[in-house]
Each structure stands twice: as structure tokens, then as C-alpha cells.
Structure 1
Amino acid sequence: MDGFQLVETRDDYLRAVESIASGVGPVAVDAERASGFRYSQRAYLIQLHRRGSGTFLFDPPAIGGFEELQAAIGDVEWILHAASQDLTCLREVGLDPSSIFDTELAARLLGLPRVGLASVVESLLGLHLAKEHSAADWSTRPLPSSWLDYAALDVQLLPELRDRVAALLDESGKRDIAEQEFDAVLGKELVVTRADPWRRLSGLHTVKGVRALAVARELWTARDDLAQELDVSPGRLVPDASLVAAARVLPRSKRELAALREFSGRASRTELDRWWAAIERGLATEDLPQLRIPGDAMPPPRAWADRNPDADKRLKAAKSAVADVAERLDMPVENLLTPDTLRRVAWQPPADIAPEWIASALGALGARPWQIDATAQTISEAFVAGSQEAVEPEDAAS
């Protein structure tokens, strides 16, 4: 493995930027967060490698702004593996590519059976890449040397991997497909603001009644506020199961809450006043949550036969037909067309199910041109077949 430079001061940063700017070709980029340890999803290490300049590991909290680096590489192709996982934290510090090459996404389009970085490197480059530090707490300081070696190797292999993957895309005629997918990743809003995020509590379905839901909401909010204040992953303070247990039981006093065996976690007793105050707010509030959030959610496919039999027949016919197309293209069916997109078109198709109308409906749902070209005709034919199947029993009865 080539060497690397750990960049922890402003002066070293500016020298690194100058070196990177003098390099050639695309820039390999990776970022390490402290998911599961910290509340924030900020980058605690940013790795760059460019041919002709070397490998640099940047310490974002120590460096501050990255305007100079963005100016140096903003118009250069960036190589990332699973770009959607890193773009948000990179953009947070002012690093935003204008074009990318995503080796993980390309591997999916090529039909590789395993698309993790270690698996793709081993399959295409014949090298073993250990991933023992992928789930480490990267907010640790100082970072252990073995972690830094691991982080450097991730980006040092990316240029060679990119070249190999690009050649395979050209050989398979999928280069244009990949470029459309890369552009879609760049244009996608990666930070999703959810209504009622507390409803994502694991096990919330076991909490019955709006009053108990109000308690669950207040407990979640109290935990989230504390987690944000301390920059600690919420589940490390009190796990979801504990909040749900308290909401389900509705203890009548602080002492009863403290005695609740299921209410555990490192902050379950040290912050007992906080949790009890949240329960009291939930028990007293007049702002009661709805049992379910109204929205455009469709029923699960297993309920379609009863709720919308015609749509059920359309979906079954189209799923089989689209799966055949994905097999011919040698890629996962979800990369050819997302299951949600197909379900939405099947549930409420355009008035005319001719291919051009199906194509328009797919485009409105965010399908890329190559996906539309590959599936619109097939879906149209499947819908026709499903509709014919729906009327055959009536014809037979007459």
C-alpha cells in the first residue's frame, strides 16, 4: 500500500489542496462517520486519492472549511463507492461533485452478486480488502494507525477499480445506463424530512390508543433533544424498546417508571426526571396524535386482491414481465425499476395504457429514460394481459 498524509492543520490542508490540484484524472473520495455512536451524521474523516498527488486523510473538525478543496476538484469526476451514503456529509462541509462514478452502483448494474467494496475489489482486482473497521467510532481521537491504514486503502484502490468497472460497462453496453444512474444520484435529495419522525420507533405498532401514542411521542422527543445536545446516538441513551415499553405500560409514578424492568439504557435512571416529565406531558396534552398518518400510501400488495382486484392482476402480470427484462439485462430488478414505481403505476394506471402513456407515467414517478425504454412496452403489454384475465371469468359466465 502507498503511504498517506494525515491532514490535521490548516497549513497542511492548504499544501494538500495544492498537491491534489496538480494531480491527474478523477479523484477517489470516501468519508467515515460515527453512525451508531454520535447523533450527527457528520464526516469525521474524509479520504482523497488522486494519481500524481497521493493520498490524504482530512480531519474535518480540525480543518474547518473546505472551500479551497472544492474549488480545486469541484469540476473533476469523483469516484465513490455507494455515493448516496457519503454525499450528504460531504455536502455538509462544502464538498459537492459535479460528476461522479459510483463503483457500487455500477457493480449492481453489471449484475455482480455482491457489491460491497471488499467483494467487488476481490472479484475484479483479485485483492483482499479487510473491512474490520467499517463500523468503528470515527469520532475517536487520536485515530488508531490501523484505522488510518484501512481508510487510506479504501480510496487508493478506487481509481483502478473504476477503470475496470468502466471497461465492463462498455463491454456490456451499459455505460449510458450507468451515467444516467450516476446523474440521478447527484440530483436526488438525500436528506429526507419526515413528518412525525417519532413514528419510526421500533415496536410502536404494539402501543395502543392515542394517549399512549402521545406518551411515546413525548418520550421520543425528550430523548432526541438530549441526544442532539450530547451528540450521542439516541439508542445509546435509551433504546427504542424501553420507550415503547413505557408508553405501553403508562406508569403512574416516577417510582413505577424506575421499577419498570423493560425501561433500560445508560441514561434510563440518570435522566429519570426527564423521562417522567415526558410521560406527564403525554398524559396531559390535548394535542393527541392521529392513530395513522393520512397520505398517499397504497395498501400492501397482499391486500390488493380484495381492495383492487384489477390492480392486483396488473401488478402480478407486470412484476413477472419486468423480472424477465431484468434477467435479460443481467441486473437486479430493483435497479431496473423500483418496486414502488411499478406498484404505483399498477394501482392507478393512466387512462390509456398504451406504451407512450405508461412511459409518461413512469417519467412522472422519476424513472430514468433508459428504464422507461426498457420497461414501458413490457408493462403496457402486461397490463393488457392482466385486464383480459380480469374479464375472462365474466365472459365465461355469460
Structure 2
Amino acid sequence: MDSTELAPFQDKLSSALVQVTRTVGQLSSEDLNFHRTSSADFAESLDQQSERILALTSAVLKAATVGTDVDAPALDTEESLEDNWRGVVDVIDSLLEKADACLDEFTGVIKKLSPSQEEQAPVVKKAPYFPTIYDYGPSKIPKPQLLFDHKPDNADFGPFHPLLKTKPHATVALEKSLEQQQLNGAAAHPHPYETEIRNAQYPQSVYQTCPPINFLPFEDTTATFVDTMDGVKEMLEELKQAKEIAIDLEHHDVHSYHGLVSLMQISTRNKDWVVDTLKPWREELQILNEVFADPKILKVLHGSTMDIIWLQRDLGLYVIGMFDTFHAASALGYPKKSLKYLLKKFVDFEADKRYQMADWRVRPLPSAMFDYARSDTHYLLYVYDCLRNELIEASTPEESLIDYVQERSKNEALQRYERPVYDAEKGQGPGGWYDLLSRNAGMLSKEQFAVFKAVHQWRDEVARAEDEGWQCVFPKHVLFKLAQAMPLDMGTLLRTLSPMTPLTKDRAADLLAIIKEAKIAGATGPEWRDFAPPPKAPANMAEPDMDHVDFPIAERYETSQFWGDVLEAQELSAPVSYSTAASLEALRLSLPLPPMPTTVSQAREKLGVSANTETTSAPKAAPVPASAPEEPKYFTVKDLGGPRKRKVAAAVTPDQEVSTPDSLVESINEPDSTEKQRKKSRKEKKAKKATQSGSQSEADSTPFDYGAAESILNVPVASAMRPQPKRTFNPYAKALEAPSGARKQKRDDAGKSMTFRK
């Protein structure tokens, strides 16, 4: 194609892409789900167009990958697009690389090799992207647990029995240490090495300061991948000769209910090992207890809380004489305690933590993942040397920080693995619904709470049956969506679960039935707030026996203790229309005011006044004579809309009688007569006051003689001789001589006085 032909083609292609983008934006803004449910024809047409677009996309991807090493992903459904999105990105990346190479060749930046040179040139393949645990679809790697000699039993809720067959370095016999006991009110096996761990002490070298032993260069150190029993035995013989070893694990818990120890890294001062712990004979690795349980050999780990649990659960390994660098960093008051921080501080090594989320079940292990795994233990002994010296320097005769680290490390090593038992009623225990709800605050109704518990239990049962993690069924945010939506038909359920995992898709009908039953049962069931948190025991006390603890019972009053019976519905005394009743009910809910009397008799009862009581305190209005002139038919409302000051009520004089509730009732019935009485009272007061002031003015009625008054024009000499104050200089005097501005016009507000006809 010539350069002259490229410009029109580019313009045509750009306009087509812009039009497609606009159309997609318009479609995304429409409520397609609503239209799909409202019209079956529209839903069928939409599905046909979706299938056509997927077919076209698959054809384009296949055409783009012809003659390349990239495989085109198969797009059969909308869910497959999300599952194979990484494959689509790979195809697009390969196209962009081709376009980049062609442009470089066209501009002369690079020159294309001859055919003979191309055949001789080595083929460099792009390094595959490492698999991550964020792939919650079907496991693309065959499950290794299906080949174990002892397959995991997720339906076993009994006490965990240690895997130990022998007990090296024992002070208590294996048979006695495995006797079943009552621990925390339940039958369980004690820790097999509890006595040995408590009695163990660090070697004397740990309490002595010495220069850190430099680590060997990473590239020059021998690293061995151990995947046979012969390799394990050879490694064991070398480990017995060491004084300190570093240990770390890589764990996988997405495609396994309980989780799997996938790798174990062990390092000495001179060598690194990476042990494959996914072999069928993995339980035979407990022969390493000859080193792990030897108190003379120091075991250095970082953040060993879960490592101790995983070692005894999967491999039957127990650690004696452990030094946890996490507790050492805590004793020294470091701002961060992570292994990444310690490696950066002492070694200046930047760990690539993206491999922390890799799928460690993949075999063969990629070189980048292998190097990351061994780096966790390769530098750890050097970090231990630096921390040990700082701990000794910071210690005092009264307090040894080395002993502090030893006690904390012993507590970590004394942990026991217990199988998680699902408590459907109270939701307690690891993986229960109670912890999930307490950490995600939100008010759920009775029905929603019942659906949440039922769906949570259903998800746990499916995960156990398929030996998958909970997130492979559906993540927790979908669990909350199901509880809030409570779908009762298959269409709503599928939209709520979108995107749907294969495990849920195959069991959608069962899930829908669970939701329907839970919603019906929840109408009369408990609420989330009725469940009180269990009491927490102090750190120095054992956990309480939950079967003998009196939990507080939440009670609810029938009447509000603050508002009383104000919020109760009031019966209407007269029949009213439906709209009027609805308005009154809305007003009652929005403004919870006490009920007001609607008749005079109700007002009397509210005030505690009898209906037969005679009202003698309030003067009644005099009857208007027949010959009285007719009152004007106009009245004026003054100062309408303006701010009005509240007039102070006149003080009650002794000769005035105090009004009684009866007068109040009559004032309600005869407002006009009461107003007339008030006006008459005011006129009488004014007339009385005028009479008093008149008698006083007659006594002081002597006229003022202006002729005999002193002149104020002739100032006395004494006052004239007074020193006049000095006039101060005003720098702004000239500025003040400017013409004054226009005065503010007085606003004449409309409506100040209005006259109305009666």
C-alpha cells in the first residue's frame, strides 16, 4: 500500500472506530437488564447479537494469531471473555509488537535479516506470565491433592490427630504426648512437643556479640530443587552439620479448602534448598524433625504464626529453638516489621512481592519464582546476625531482649492446629458468618439476615465438597448482594451473581431454593442485632467455656422509653377520606407530636376540668343592644411580612382576676367577645392614667418666664478664659470635602398594610 492510499484508509478506519465507541457508550448507559425482562423478543434479539459479536471476535483473534506462537482464546460465552481476558491481551500485545517492528523496518531503524539468517537465528520466546491466585475460575493446574497418599477429608469435624510416626529429641514419649485430653471444654490432642519447647534454651552463641557473617553472592550460591526422597535425605545430612538454618514456606489456599503447603525453603550459610511439598509422599518429610526438633540448631523464621500451623497440619513438622525476626524487630521498635523492610535495611535487597500472590502449585517452577522463593531465606541468617547484635546492645541487666524474643517465639511454636468446625447457628469459629458480619457493618432485615446465613452455609458446603476455596464459589461481596436482593426467580439470581463462577452456575437451582426457604423462615426469625458478641477473656486467662457462659439476652420494649406512646397510631374520631388519613399518617411519622384535642370536651378532659364547672373568673361579653351602630365591614392587617416585636404582657394587678381554664375554653368558643373585653380594658387603663397625670400637671401649671431667664449668648469670662483644646491635624480632611453621595432610598415594601372585606 502506498503512502497516498494509507491516509484515506486511516480516516475511514478512525471514523468507524469512533462510531463504534459512541454506540457502545450509548448502550452502556441504557438499562438493558430492564428491557431484557420487559420483552422476551428483545432479550432473544440481544442474545443473538451477543453471540454474533463473540463469533466475530473469536474469528478476528484466530486470524491475528495465524503463524505465531500465541494461542487464540476460545470465546463461547460472556463469562469466557472474562476468564480468558489474559489471552486476549496477549494477542493484542503480539499485534502491537508486530506493528512496532514493521514501522521500525519501514523507517530504516532496523534491517530485516535475509531468509538464511532468519533460519539460523535462535528463536526467543516471550517469557510466560506467572500464574496468580487471582484466577478464581476452574483450576487450570491439576489438583495435586488428588494424588496424595492421604487425601484431605473436608467432612471430618473430629479433633486433629498429629501426623507424627516418630518423635526425635523427645523427653516425653510419643504415646504419652498423643493421649487425648479435654482442652477448652472439647476433646483434643495436646501439642506433641509442648514439654520440649518450654524447656528449650537458645545456644550460648545467641547471647554473644560477634560481627555478622557475610552472605554469599546470590548468583554464586548453590540452590537445589528437592523433589525426591533421596534428595531429602541428602539435604538432611547436610542440615545436621549446621548451627543455624533459615526456614520459610509458600502456601496456596485458593483451589483447596484447607490450603496446601506448596514449597519449603531452607538455607544454611553456604547453600539453599527449595523442597517440593506437593508430592504424594509429602508426609514422609517429617523425618526433618531430626533437625527441626533439635534444640542445639537454631531455626530462624520471620512471622512464623501461620508457618507453624501449616508445618504440623500438612507435613507433621514441629520447631524447637526458634528465633522469629518479627519479634526481634518489634523488641527494637522498628517502624516496620516486614521481611521486605528488613532485607532493604540490612542487605539493600528489594524483594519483588508480586510473586507473593503467585500460584505456587505450578510445575515446573519458573526460574523467576524459584529465585524469589530462595531469596526469602538466602539473606535471613545475615539479618539474624544484625538483629542479634542490636538486641544485645539494647538489653539491660534487668531485661534481656534476647529472652523476650525467645518467649515470644516459644508461644508461636506452641500453637496447635485445629480443624475449622462450621457453626451454622451462632456463626462462630474460623470461616463463620459472625466474624464476616461484625467486620462489615450493615443493617439487615430479618429476611435478609436469614438469607445471609443460609447462603453462607451453602457456600461452605459446596467449597468442602469440591475442595475449593470459598472465593471460588463466589466472593464475599456477592454474598452481601444476594442477602440484600433476595432473588426469587432465576433471572434475578443470574444477574445478581454476574459474573458467575462455574461452581455456582452448575448449582444455581439449588441456591435459588435455599434463598426462597430462608426468606420464608426469616420472617419470624431473629435479627442480626439480637446476636451479642461473645465475651473475650483477658490475655493471661484461658478462653471461657462457651457452653456454660450466660450470654446477655437482647429484649425490646413494646413502647418507646423516650417518646412514650406518642408514636402510636391515633384513631380518627370522624370518618375521613383515604387521602386525608394518609396525609395525617405521614404528618404523624414525620413530626412525632403528642395527640391534640379535637373537641372542647376532649380539651376539658385533657386539662382536668369538669364540663359542669361554672366559669366565674372570666367576664362574659355584654350583649350588643339592638340599636347599636353596625360595625364596619373592613379590617386592616398592619406590618404584614415585616419583623414584629413581641409585646410584653401587662402585669396582673391585684384588682384583676386570674383567668381559669373555663375562661380559656370560653375564649376558644367566643373569640370575638374576648377581643372586645381586652379593648375595653385597655381604654379604661388609659383613661385612669390620664386622670392621674392631669391632677399632677395642674399642680405644676406655673408658666415659664422667658424674659427673666439668663441669656446663653453671653458666656461668662471665667469660662471664656479656659484653655481651648488644641485642634488635632486630620490628614483626611480634604478627602471629606468631597460631595456626599446619594442617600439610601427608603424602601417601601409592598404589603405593609392591607385591607380586607369581612
1:92-111 correspondence to structure 2 within 5 Å: 92=313, 93-111=315-333
Of the structure 1 ranges 288-297 and 72-81, higher mean CA displacement relative to structure 2 is found in 288-297
* Higher mean C-alpha displacement, 40-49 vs 222-231: 222-231
Equivalent residue for 1:170? 392
Aligned equivalent of 2:267, options 49, 62, 85: 49
Q: Are the equivalent residues in 1 in contact too, given 2:455–2:515 (CA < 8 A)?
A: yes
Structure 2 partner of 1:276 = 512
Structure 1 position 208 matched with structure 2 position 429: no
Residue 139 of structure 1 aligns with which residue? Answer: 361
Q: 2: CA distance between counterparts of 1:94 and 1:100? A: 17
Structure 2: distance between partners of 1:215 and 1:101: 47
**Pairing partner for 1:33 from 238, 246, 251:** 251
1:130 aligns with 2:357: no
AA matched with 1:29 = I
C-alpha contact 2:488 2:515 (8 A) present in aligned 1: no
> Contact 2:446–2:526 (CA<8 Å) still a contact in 1?
yes
C-alpha RMSD of matched pairs (Å): 2.8
Aligned residue type for 2:249? A
For the 8 Å contact 2:245–2:268, the answer to whether it is kept is: yes
Which is worse superposed, 100-109 or 282-291?
A: 282-291
On the 8 A contact 1:77/1:97 being kept in 2, the answer is no
Partner amino acid for 1:219?
Answer: V
Distance 1:103 1:126 in 2: 17
State the Cα deviation string for residues 342-370 of structure 1 (Å, max 9, x = none): xx6xxxxxxxxxxxxxxxxx64479xxxx
Q: Secondary structure at the match of 1:40?
A: coil
- 1:296/1:132 CA distance change after superposition, 3 Å: closer
Confirm or deny: 8 A CA contact 1:7 1:13 kept in the other structure. yes
Aligned match for 1:6, one of 208, 221, 225: 225
Unaligned runs of 5+ in 1: 299-340, 345-361, 367-398
Q: Which region of structure 1 is more displaced relative to structure 2, 121-130 or 188-197?
A: 188-197
- Matching residue of 1:83: 304
d(CA) in 1 for partners of 2:461, 2:420? 17
- Distance in 1 separating the partners of 2:441 and 2:352: 39
Higher relative contact order (CA 8 A, sep 6+): 1
- Structure 1 residues 254 and 207 mapped into 2: Cα distance closer, same or farther (>3 Å)? farther
Instruction: Output one character per residue of 1:215-267: Cα deviation in whole Å (capped at 9) or x when no partner.
Output: 2122112222222333333223312121211112222223331233x654424
> In structure 1, the residue corresponding to 2:492 is in which secondary structure?
helix
Q: 2:454·2:518 contact (CA, 8 Å) conserved in 1?
A: yes
1:184 aligns with 2:398: no
Rg: which structure is higher?
2
CA distance in structure 2 between the partners assigned to 1:139 and 1:169 by the alignment: 38
1:294 maps to 2:516: no
Which of residues 41, 55, 59 in structure 1 aligns to 2:276? 59
Cα distance in 2 for partners of 1:108, 1:176 equals 13
Query: Which residue in the other structure is 1:157 paired with?
Result: 379
Partner SS, residue 509 of structure 2 = helix
CA distance in 2, matches of 1:109, 1:191: 30
Normalising by structure 2, what TM-score? Answer: 0.37
Partner of 2:494: 258
Runs of 4+ in 1 over 6 A off after TM superposition: none
- Work out whether residues 238 and 264 of structure 1, in 8 Å CA contact, stay in contact via their aligned partners in 2: no
1:237 partnered with 2:473: yes
Q: Is the 8 A contact 2:245 2:300 kept in 1?
A: yes
Q: What letter is aligned with 2:229?
A: R
- Between Structure 1 and Structure 2, the one with more helix by share is 1
- 1:71 to 2:290 alignment: yes
Q: Decide which moves more: 9-18 or 152-161.
A: 9-18
Report the CA distance shift for 1:295/1:204 in structure 2 as closer, same or farther (over 3 A). closer
TM-score between both structures, scaled by the size of structure 1: 0.68
Give the conservation status (yes or no) of the 8 Å contact 2:309–2:415: no
Change in CA separation of 1:35 and 1:108 when aligned onto 2, cut-off 3 Å: farther
Give the deviation of 1:5 after TM superposition: 1.2
* Cα contact 1:207–1:244 (8 A) shared by 2: no
Give the letter aligned to residue 412 of structure 2. V
Letter aligned with residue 239 of structure 2: I
1:209 and 1:221 mapped to 2: Cα distance?
Answer: 18
Deviations for 1:92-128, whole angstroms, at most 9, x for unmatched residues?
1111101211112211221111221121112123333
Distance 1:157 1:37 in 2: 31
Q: Take 1:186 and 1:290, find their aligned partners in 2: how far apart are those partners?
A: 40
CA contact (8 A) 2:494 2:500 kept: no
Q: Quick check: 1:32–1:44 contact (8 Å CA) kept in 2?
A: yes
Question: In 1, are the aligned partners of 2:472 and 2:501 still within 8 Å (CA)?
Answer: yes
* CA 1:44–1:274: 2 relative to 1, 3 Å: farther
Looking at structure 1, the residues matched to 224 and 388 of structure 2 have their Cα atoms a distance apart, in angstroms, of 28
C-alpha spacing 1:288/1:49, structure 2 compared with 1 (3 Å): farther
In structure 2, distance between residues paired with 1:281 and 1:69: 52
Contact 2:292 2:320 in 1 (8 A): no
How many Å separate the matches in 1 of 2:483 and 2:541?
41
* Partner Cα separation in structure 2 for residue 12 and residue 168 of structure 1: 37
Alpha-carbon contact 2:312-2:417 (below 8 Å) kept = no
Compute the displacement of 1:167 (Å). 1.0
What is the identity, as a one-letter code, of the residue corresponding to 2:407?
A: Q
1:365–1:224 Cα change, 3 Å: closer
State how far apart, in whole Å, the 1-side matches of 2:233 and 2:521 are. 54
Is the alpha carbon distance of 1:82 and 1:11 closer, same or farther for their aligned partners in structure 2, counting shifts above 3 Å?
Answer: same
| Residues 265, 106 of structure 1: alpha-carbon distance in 2 compared, 3 angstrom cutoff | farther
% identity of equivalent residues: 21
Q: CA deviation at 1:25?
A: 0.9
Change in 2 beyond 3 A, CA 1:228/1:148: farther
- 1:23-81 CA-to-partner distances (Å, cap 9, x unmatched) read 311221100012455433321111111236x2221111214212211123312332111
1:14 Cα shift?
2.2
Is 1:17 aligned to residue 229 of structure 2?
no
Partners of 1:365 and 1:159 in 2: how far apart? Answer: 35
Go from structure 1 to structure 2 and tell me whether the alpha carbon gap of 1:149 and 1:259 turns closer, same or farther (over 3 Å shift).
closer
Report the CA distance between 1:149 and its aligned residue.
1.0
Match of 2:483 in 1: 247
Q: Indicate the residue corresponding to 2:154 in structure 1.
A: none
> Structure 1 residues 77-86 or 188-197, which shifts more?
188-197
What CA distance in whole angstroms lies between the structure 1 residues aligned with 2:542 and 2:286?
A: 35
Change (3 A) 1:161 1:191: farther
